Structure 1
């Protein structure tokens, strides 16, 4: 619908010299003025509202298609000339060039955001409580276009009813469309999918806009770069070479309770499984790390070694997963088995194994690994989730495949499930036809068509949109806890056809009576190049953590914060304090707090030689009753997986100036793989939510003293008006000239004062300032 624009006119009154005849009129006008109780002598604002809406045919598949053009044409004529002229100008530009389309699109609010975000952050710094529970301003309600026919042609325009409705609602003049554009528009259709909650193109744009806003509610807090250390436990024997080396450590997860998700106290220890490997090497294997339970000192962690032994190679790798304690005290590990033997491709399979551990001489040791079992040897099942064979048959080099990162959880009925990253199968498969499904876009007609034209006009975006099909899947486990099997696949909990090709590391946490689904993602694996490229330009990174909520584990999940954005990047990816692979851990005894863990420095020494990937300080987020979240100013030491009274520290809290090492802020870093055009940004540091010292500055009462122009001493300062001073506190120039409404003087005093005023106006040159 085209909304009318509110217009307001301001009528200004100016006082000039008047002629002798005009003086009499001024006296009469003054008396009339005294009777008005609300009119201001300065200016009067009059608002006139014009609301115009376009009414379109909403009947599904009308039998007589010739009636449709009549209704649309009549509606178009009823629009105000101002609206038509503006939308027509925009519309004529939309189909022609990508750059102009982007400028018109709602998607491009991201471009302007950095300009205003600094101001926003400054104001938010003084009143964080105002914005703490607000939803992103970019969240827009989706409109349903399923009632329009995608086959019936409107004769007047040569467009289908669906395309015709979209074009007119977007404010596009159909006569400006080329034959090629009309042909593409007539391919549009509306198809609802069965693949759970869908991330639309509009959601993706909102997530990117949230990142650009750098709102402290979502921005990952600043960490103090000088305090960040490599893990001592990461200097260990490498699984491939068997030699001691300084390893990167990245995706990590604790051994958790299968129901609550809390970190398990295993014989007085906390256990964490981590992906580790030699920097700049194809070295991806799992290690077991341990520490005294609730010890939050990074350097107290120790390494029990490579879980699957030594002498491993790069052909078979082990990637992310989860782990829980079995009833007999053994650890059940779920992980990703990756076979790269097929021309270095990544054939990913969900797998499991049982770890037999022991404590010997105050050290945790791996005694054996039993029950190694690949749960999904073909990758996906093909229908719900893309199989390796399906992917391989169409792979052209631009398509990601995913069947990884299994997260195990048990529901209230005792059933065990795996939530994992996947790609959609034939139920809603990847294809160029997804570009024409209006359902994939979300928002309104203007956004849909602007985005549609962007994709058509950009070859890279077209290819990305054709292969994007990231999903968060779920399956029910059968068998026993040590020998699990797949009992049943379900429709994905989340899918993103045409929008994103990678949403990874899912984990589900139950808080109270609700289930919360979280996942990490890099926006540069999405099809909207303009969105993630702007993030790279402004912030220097495009990583996010997404979040969704449901009343049941397998139920419908709704995005938190309107779009799903929970955490957004706040520093460039090659800074020492850049983070990724966010993993939410519940806080014992709390129904609304989560500890966010991650690794920092984006691997392979991008922050400089010797600055290996390491565990980041953890921090808290709070989930509000209205489905919003906020980052709290609560930070831990590096590698703290359990929040308790000893967790909070000030040592790792940074700000804009301290969150990078010397030289990192100049945009030139040796080995920078992204080639980002690094620019300064101003996310609000979480350690400064209570700095209300700025609002005190604007109090500048010095200006009211300025108008002390006693150039009218001829006016007798009668004590009659002293009560005005008492009423208003500070005497003003107008108070000594014009009587104010509400005074109790007699009519004679009023008339005398009016005459006196008129004479003053007549004989004294006076020019009123106009407001602009």
Structure 2
């Protein structure tokens, strides 16, 4: 269809060019006869008008050549780095948006063809420079070679087609300056075309309908909005149940020898996962014990390492959990860290751990790599002990493969301080044929890469024309949203494993199961559960890592947090996932982020004997004693959710003690069940949250707000006069209050033009200068005709 449309547009242009010839000949004749007169009159203009004209002409040249200069710079950068540096990357975005609010709009004036050219060059450079991120095997090498060739062929084809179409669309505009497609979109959106600004028309003309990129399931901007709306509604089917704050306690097993200091300390405990059956996902009974691996560390310290925790199988008592110690020993440092993953039992009873190896030696950045190790355990004197850790090996030393998933080199080349990278949280699962896979958090590669061009990709929006256009204009009107949309490329990836169960390597990369290009930059901790013949994919996310500032700021203001659990279902493990509850929402925050009972990092575990019920585990209280000194991050009570046949879910009124990973007849309790009034500690429900710090792990200790007048409730600032800070380098963890206008078409400032001569104080001289300029324009038309003849005849 694209090629037939191109041919049709080219034919139309040929007809228009023939019609222009007669008019151009007439104008050129007039220009030829008036050339001498025009020159004499124009020269007679006063020096002041000459100076103004010269200055304005120079400005025009700068404006006209801006896009060309940007492209040349990008080309030089690409050649020098051989990575994904491109005009549509966050680095370019940061440069163009740093000065004023109008800058994002101005930067959109670069044509779609220029963007696609850069993307094509990026893919070629990446495919040449990036190699497989696995331990070398013949099968892997062949697969990666095929991926490289596919990256070159696919991106070149898409770029050529897009460039050709865009070049025609530049010319094929109507009297309103809109392409045929842009006009149709505007009409469907109910816009008054006569009132559109030049910048809005430019934006509409740049929209493209990309259906060729292999994205897997796409989280759309519309779905993100629906998820945020569900959070705001506090629908009891999805809202995380209230916990009794007074019943929550630190984990005794978290008071242990720290892996870095080798001193006994009270540690935070956060991302945790049980040792599971690789097929069913159920918690394994290992020699009478349940085993859990947990990330732990000293509060307010860069201390992120893995520990092995254990308890008697099906023991519900939180205080009975014990600590077998740091898995990778002691004397560790903050340079190399170990993050979230999964674990299963090997055929000989050893534990195969999959985890994230993080190297921060490169200027404190996070080079994340999927890794694995074999743990040999023993029971000695009633205690589980770690006897050895073998086969510790990195599976993805370069991060992603570059094509399906962003490599560390690609990310580092364009990193501006705001762009997240992800190659972490590997979850291992085996299908019915005995083939093992890793599902993990990632960022998209050149197959569907991040960039400013994604803002104009219609498939990223997912709503009707009115919603999509309104959202597009909202993004263009807000610098922070523009930057976030440009670098957002979260994905849930999947790879196939090969080799021995203790020494696996990656055999093949697949298209992401889920992509959120332009929508979100972080969707983490994926796990896949098989229930009733279907595969259910779950993941956790913070909405403030998304590009819709309007939505998540409202969640922060009205609920006090923006965390969610997402869910998808498919008949196949490797593809075809559809969102549960239509938008993908499964759980939403119900209390402010700095309350003792706030939770995150949701992990669903199957309930033995059930094909529709899952036990949801999490950790409680964001790290670093945000709820107060001594109130460490700890395991939350678990609760049940049910999956209904129609693809919807609901929270059940069933809750456990803290740290219960196995639901059985003895699990249910009322001790931890709370209400809104019991879900916070004294002084917490004060209406004050420091949003400059909340959103990541850099939370400060909770300091209760004390109003001057005890009878006056603390309220936000006057909504009619909002404070709208605009940081120079906005990051996902430093929110700005967005521009208002959700659901409306904002008045996007027009791109600055410099084609009109300034007036002077002498009106007569202005008139002479204007006449002279008009005659000179006729001369220019004559010259243009000569060039026209050489080009088209």
Quick check: TM above 0.5? yes
1:5-28: CA deviation from partner (whole Å, max 9, x where unpaired): xxxxxxxxxxxxxxxxxxxxxxxx
Residues 222-281 of structure 1, C-alpha deviations (whole Å, 9 max, x = no match): 000000010000000000001000000000000000000000000000000000000000
* 1:169 is the counterpart of 2:188: yes
Matches within 5 A, 1:661-740: 661-668=681-688, 673-674=693-694
Aligned residues: 546
Identify the residue that residue 491 of structure 2 maps to in structure 1. Answer: 471
The answer as to 2:214 corresponding to 1:181 is no
The question of whether the paired residues in 2 share the 8 Å contact of 1:541 and 1:573 is answered with: yes
CA–CA distance in structure 1, aligned partners of residues 610 and 11 of structure 2: 62
Where does residue 237 of structure 2 map in the other structure? 217
Bigger Rg, which one:
1
CA distance in 1, matches of 2:560, 2:626: 13
Tell me the C-alpha RMSD between the 2 structures.
2.3
Cα distance in structure 2, aligned partners of 1:556 and 1:162: 30
1:447 aligns with 2:392: no
Output the CA distance in 2 between the equivalents of 1:377 and 1:609. 39
Separation in 1, partners of 2:579, 2:318: 34
Secondary structure of the residue aligned to 2:354 is: strand
Hey, what's the Cα distance between the residues in 1 that align with 2:687 and 2:268? 23
8, 12, 22: which one aligns with 1:63:
8
For the pair 1:263 / 2:283, whether they are aligned, the reply is yes
How far apart are residue 154 of structure 1 and its match? 4.5
Whether the aligned pair in 1 keeps the contact of 2:498 and 2:506 (CA below 8 Å) is: yes
Give the TM-score taking structure 1 as reference length: 0.69
Counterpart check, 1:434 vs 2:418: no
The answer for unaligned runs of 5 or more in structure 2 is 13-100, 103-161, 706-712, 716-793
Tell me the residue number matched to 1:293.
313
* C-alpha distance after superposition, 1:187-223 (max 9, x if no partner): 1111022120000111111111111110000000000
Match of 2:361 in 1: 341
* Counterpart mapping for 1:640-679 below 5 A: 640-668=660-688, 673-674=693-694
Higher relative contact order (CA 8 A, sep 6+): 2
Deviation at 1:182, TM superposition (A): 1.1
CA contact (8 A) 2:591 2:598 kept: yes
Question: Structure 1 stretches of 5 or more lacking a match?
Answer: 1-58, 68-96, 99-145, 682-772
Structure 1 residue 323, shift from structure 2 partner: 0.1
Residue matched to 2:601: 581
Distance 1:456 1:450 in 2: 10
Separation (CA, whole Å) in 2 of partners of 1:339 and 1:173 = 53
Displacement after TM superposition at 1:180 (Å): 2.2
In structure 2, the residue matched to 1:382 is 402
Structure 1 residues 527-577: Cα deviation after superposition (integer angstroms, max 9, x where no partner):
110011000000110000000000010121000000000000000000000
Other-structure match for 2:249: 229
Given candidates 201, 208, 222, the residue that maps to 2:221 is 201
Instruction: Give the deviation of 1:166 after TM superposition.
Output: 1.3
Shift of 1:667: 2.8
CA distance in 1, matches of 2:236, 2:187: 39
How far apart, in 1, do the equivalents of 2:659 and 2:475 lie? 42
**Residue 668 of structure 1: CA displacement?**
4.0
SS in 1 for 2:482: helix
* Cα shift at 1:60: 5.9
Deviation (angstroms), 1:65 = 10
Q: Distance in 2 between the 1:555 and 1:399 partners?
A: 27
Question: Residues 305 and 191 (structure 1 numbering): CA distance in 2 closer, same or farther, change over 3 Å?
Answer: same
Alpha-carbon separation, structure 1, partners of 2:324 and 2:217: 40
Shift of 1:165: 1.2
Task: Assess if the C-alpha contact under 8 Å between 2:231 and 2:588 holds in 1.
Answer: yes
The TM-score, its normalising length taken from structure 2, stands at 0.67
What's 1:240 paired with?
260
Give the 3 Å change call, closer, same or farther, for CA 641–680 of structure 1 in structure 2.
farther
Structure 2: how far apart are the matches of 1:266 and 1:458?
A: 54
Task: State the SS of the aligned residue for 1:572.
Answer: coil
Show CA shifts across 1:101-132 (max 9, x none): xxxxxxxxxxxxxxxxxxxxxxxxxxxxxxxx
State how far apart, in whole Å, the 2-side matches of 1:231 and 1:640 are.
12
- 2:692 and 2:482 map into 1 onto residues whose CA distance is 28
* Whole-Å separation in 1 of the counterparts to 2:10 and 2:283: 63
Question: 1:171, 1:65 → 2: CA distance?
Answer: 29
Distance across 1 between alignment mates of 2:352 and 2:7:
59
Aligned to 1:503: 523
Does 2:388 correspond to 1:368?
Answer: yes
Which of 478, 498, 520 lines up with 1:458 in the alignment?
Answer: 478
The separation in 2 between residues aligned to 1:671 and 1:63, in whole angstroms, is 54
* CA positional deviation for 1:671: 11
User: In the alignment, which residue of structure 2 is the partner of 1:27?
Assistant: none
Is 1:515 the counterpart of 2:460? The answer is no
Task: Kindly indicate which of the two structures has a greater share of residues assigned to helix.
Answer: 2
